[in-house]
Structure 1
Amino acid sequence: MAALRWLIYALGGGMGHLTRASALARRAARSGHSVSLLTNSPFAPGLPLEDVLGPGVHVRRLEATLSKRAVRDVVERWLADERPDVLVVDTFPRGLGGELVALLPELRARKVLVHRDLNPVYVARFDVARAVEAFDLLLVPGEDAPFAAHPRAVRTAPWLLLEPGELLPRARARALLGVPVEESRPVVAVMGCGQASEVEEAGAIAARLHPVLGDAALVRWLVPPVAGASPPKARGARRGAFPGVLRVPVWPALAVLPGVDVLVGAGGYNTVQEARATGTPLVALARPRLYDRQALRLRPEELAGSVAELVERAVLLARARPVGGPVPYAGGACDAVALIEGVLLSA
């Protein structure tokens, strides 16, 4: 179809909203559309978004500390200036601070909600059932959601940023993780994402794993790239603040999962869906969130109830020397683009 202007609203802390929205933006741009992506992730300044998403996607980074009023002003100007054909909103139908309630009725564009699990307390308190009625299409990307049975809701496979053929071969992934070519021990990667404090906590968990595993496995601490630092491929792995632990700045982490034998992390959308898509054994904590319920996303064999249990189960997995390999998966972002195009054609 003809190229159209897409705006993707991906406000929210951490990297979950941004990474999921980036998967859609990248696929939409490859289909010939002009895409503008709005994010206030505190990690966004350091991520190589333009390199990964390509020239068809314009990324607008907001300060994570902006007030609700300031965010509303920015979003209002953004919608007025861009005059989109379609607005895609990730997770929050009212907007992160409720600013979309007054703006959506005046917007002539088609409206699409990326609808995933939400805390029922939030759903009831802010009358989310009414808010979703402003949208022409609800896309449910790979997990259940409160209004998945809505007549305008359509389920897809999970949205992953990279296609299977874009993942690094195992040898290259291990090299990027700082593993010598002659090394055969399994790699245990601790994912540092979510809130900034949780990135540091992941380093502390990696430091606990290192002496317990000894010679049985190599431990790596994966962290988001920091603004102003060299790109991950140039910088490679380096020692961080925790003894014996190599800190590896990398995004998207999905690219290196073929080199990971055990993934340790939290129950965020991207970590869980990427681990399952690549067949990477996962053990994770359910982090507390205002809107997300990570414990529901994790399977019993993936969920650890404490850091001590997390470490113990990761060690058992690593010593079992799990055998991994390529696992073909179907990303849902391509289907999502086709569904949105269908809504635009019906306008």
Structure 2
Amino acid sequence: MGQSVPCPWLIYALGGGWGHLNRTVALGRLAAAQSPVHILTNSPYAALVNEELERWQQQGQSVPHLIAFSATLEKAALCRQVQAQVISRSYRCLIADTFPRGLGGELADLLPGLNCPKVLIHRDLNPDYVRSHQLSEFVARYYDLVIVPGEGAVPLASLPQVRHTPPWLIYDAAELAKRLAHPTFTKGAGPCAPTPAPNGGHPLILVCAAGNTAEQEFFGTLTDQLQQAFPKARVRCLAANCPPGCPPALWLQTWPGLPWIAQAAVVVGGGGYNTVYECAALKKPLVAFALPRLYDRQSRRLGRYGVQVSTMAAAIEQVKIVLQRPQRDVQMPCLSLSNAIALYSNGATNALRQIQQVLGG
């Protein structure tokens, strides 16, 4: 008789932008080594991520399976499709990222009937949203485990089932170093080609345009202005699509972005989860805008790491301050792998162990 296939983990990762998808893939790729993992997403960046996951799979790595819904799907239709997917089969566990009731409330009716452990990934949430939807009572009743991925004193942190981890990253430090050293990165596919001289070299200014579609033109224009302000620097804009206003020669379309952050002298972006905590892990100077969000508090996150600005002129001035620091205080791109990578902890590994304990193995 053939060996039975274990029930998959189901991870709910709906929400715009990069954060939900990147965070759950960080967990899912670790869990996939032991069990199938399905990730529900409506991220407009799912196709780009899936291309890279397929490459990893061809290299023999275990990867999660993305179940992607259209990013433009009307909310009611999206809720129906998600509910149909959740009830279509048995799952070993349900893991919801950020939204315990679902982005449109679609999980609220399903959770009481799901006979499997339920885990909430508690990224920071606006306290007004938590109160208005009585999320404290809801989570206390229906979730077996709540994991706070490096966000500190979040609104539901007082619940007894809460556990804290460091921030979650796609790669741990050792894997990042290995990937940076790979020829496909160092010989043309990454910012190490050509290697700049340690003294008087060309620092990499990396713009992370990871916000919503409406914000892309802002980051595209900022990229162009940064290149004009610092003609001896190498300015690059990391984005899924070339933002309006961004010179095409300065655009980078790649995922994950962590290897590029590792090479940067300074990063400019928003106050989203990935940008802030990837820079913090690698100890990279971050100049960032607190972008308006309905559920997230980017200003609070930037209060923990980064320099917050509100105008392009202020961002350019802060970049200038960073680049004028002594060379030893600014990690120049490709100076050495040991300098480019700090020994950080990847909270996704901690989270995997905590979930496995709830699952009983």
TM-score by length of 1: 0.88
For 2:174 and 2:102, the matched residues in 1 are separated by 35
* 1:156-189 deviation digits (Å, cap 9, x = unpaired): 1111111212224379469434564253311101
* 1:194 corresponds to: 211
Residues 5 and 240 of structure 1, relative CA distance in 2, 3 Å threshold? same
- Residue 81 of structure 1: how far off its partner (Å): 1.8
**Mapped pair 1:264 → 2:268:** yes
Matches within 5 A, 1:140-179: 140-144=148-152, 145-167=154-176, 168-169=179-180, 172=185, 175-177=188-190
For 1:243 and 1:343, the matched residues in 2 are separated by 49
**Mapped pair 1:106 → 2:108:** no
Contact between 1:174 and 1:256, CA under 8 Å: does it hold in 2?
Answer: no
Residues 221 and 94 of structure 1, relative CA distance in 2, 3 Å threshold? same
What residue ranges of structure 1 are gaps of 5+ in the alignment? Answer: 227-238
* 1:292-345 deviation digits (Å, cap 9, x = unpaired): 000000137521132221121012212335432220111011111111111111
- Residue 197 of structure 1: how far off its partner (Å): 2.5
Q: Which moved more, 1:84-93 or 1:161-170?
A: 161-170
- Residue 55 of structure 1: how far off its partner (Å): 4.3
* 2:324 corresponds to: 319
Contact between 1:189 and 1:219, CA under 8 Å: does it hold in 2?
Answer: yes
Residues 182 and 14 of structure 1, relative CA distance in 2, 3 Å threshold? closer
For 1:211, the aligned partner's letter is Q
Residues 97 and 258 of structure 1, relative CA distance in 2, 3 Å threshold? same
Please give the secondary structure, in 2, of the residue aligned with 1:102. Answer: coil
> Which of 212, 228, 231 matches 1:214?
231
For 2:244 and 2:193, the matched residues in 1 are separated by 19
**Mapped pair 1:5 → 2:8:** yes
- Residue 273 of structure 1: how far off its partner (Å): 0.5
Q: Which moved more, 1:63-72 or 1:258-267?
A: 63-72
> Which of 270, 282, 287 matches 1:283?
287
**Mapped pair 1:137 → 2:165:** no
Contact between 2:97 and 2:122, CA under 8 Å: does it hold in 1?
Answer: yes
* 1:125-181 deviation digits (Å, cap 9, x = unpaired): 111112212100000110121111210000011111112122243794694345642
Contact between 1:209 and 1:315, CA under 8 Å: does it hold in 2?
Answer: no
Contact between 1:225 and 1:250, CA under 8 Å: does it hold in 2?
Answer: no
For 1:46 and 1:56, the matched residues in 2 are separated by 15
* 1:242 corresponds to: 246
**Mapped pair 1:63 → 2:67:** no
**Mapped pair 1:302 → 2:310:** no
For 2:274 and 2:248, the matched residues in 1 are separated by 27
Q: Percent identity over the alignment?
A: 38
Contact between 1:177 and 1:248, CA under 8 Å: does it hold in 2?
Answer: no
For 2:195 and 2:30, the matched residues in 1 are separated by 37
**Mapped pair 1:123 → 2:123:** no
Contact between 1:33 and 1:56, CA under 8 Å: does it hold in 2?
Answer: no
RMSD: 2.3
- Residue 202 of structure 1: how far off its partner (Å): 1.3
- Residue 241 of structure 1: how far off its partner (Å): 4.9
* 1:86 corresponds to: 93
For 1:298 and 1:338, the matched residues in 2 are separated by 29
Residues 69 and 164 of structure 1, relative CA distance in 2, 3 Å threshold? same
* 1:233 corresponds to: none
How many residues are paired up? 331
Q: Which moved more, 1:302-311 or 1:290-299?
A: 302-311
* 2:297 corresponds to: 293
For 1:182 and 1:55, the matched residues in 2 are separated by 33
- Residue 205 of structure 1: how far off its partner (Å): 0.5
For 2:106, the aligned partner's letter is E
Contact between 2:224 and 2:245, CA under 8 Å: does it hold in 1?
Answer: no
> Which of 318, 325, 335 matches 2:350?
335
TM-score by length of 2: 0.85
Contact between 2:216 and 2:244, CA under 8 Å: does it hold in 1?
Answer: no
